[in-house]
Amino acid sequence: MPFITDGRTLIRDALAGRYAMPAFNVSSLEMGRACIEAAEAEQAPVILQTYPGDLDQATPHVFAAMVRALAEEASVPVMLHLDHGDGLERATACLRAGYSSVMFDGDELPLAENVARSRTIATVAHAAGASMEVAAGGFGAGEGDGGVHLTEPDAAVTLMRETGADMVACSVGSRHGQPSKLDLGRLEAIAEAVRGPLVLHGGSGIPADDLARATELGVVKVNIGAALFRATVSAWREAAPGAQVHYEVLPVVRDALRRVAREKIRLMRVHARA
């Protein structure tokens, strides 16, 4: 199936169909392949995404070419997103490489500056025929508690309406790399105010019931990173000691990743309309 060049296509479909798409953070061929195979098994669209840290290992052109090649052999829609983009230069590089979507994470900035910089990046993304995600909250840094900034509904509305962004990331209790419980009351208030596509980060630790309710409230994208990284490391440690060559290890890792990815896809499609 052709690679989805404009992320707005899948975002609109998810909002109308009342389901969310897992956005899987991938940093290798094996991770990308496993997530797409999981999506094919569930017959669901899928988002692959890269951190800025991943782009220190390989350029946006390398990741875009890899994902496009995988998508051309897939039976489900696949798009590529920049996660936690840190500015116009990074976003532009990814868009030029052919990314379907970019995020600007300006949550640590004063709201007015976040709006101004997000508006510029949204304009560039739309000119490139791609979608843009804006940040209206903080989700913590890795395994720690620092950096959590819960979203206020008014701020989410301001960022969506004044930037032209296509989706807004909302912090309502989920945290990067940690088990968490959503503040569903806060999410409901944001959904009522924004009335548009919402995004959750820190999706690896969100309970199934909370994810199900989130899809009803307009969450269309949920980031999954830690669950994949942990599965990769665990499977590699288990398989590597007895292996003679890496070809014996890679299928074990891919199987572990597929199981995680299929579980997340199922959880986010419980309300999907046919």
- How do residues 116-157 score in pLDDT, each as one tens digit? 999 999 999 999 999 999 999 888 765 444 568 899 999 999
CA 154 to chain centre: 23
The whole-number pLDDT of residue 148 equals 81
DSSP strands (E only) in 87-217: 101-104, 131-135, 138-139, 148-149, 167-169, 198-200
Per the residue annotation, which of 6, 13, 54, 83 is the catalytic one? 83
Tally of residues, the chain = 274
Q: What pLDDT sits at residue 140?
A: 74
Percent of the chain with pLDDT over 90: 86
Q: Does 83 participate in catalysis according to the annotation?
A: yes
Q: Which domains does the chain have, with CATH numbers?
A: 8-268 (3.20.20.70)
CA dihedral 257, 171, 6, 126 (to 10 degrees): -150
Residue from 91, 89, 123 nearest 104 by CA: 91
Model confidence at 216: pLDDT above 90: yes
In this predicted model, what pLDDT tens digit does every residue of 32-54 receive, in sequence order?
999 999 999 999 999 999 999 99
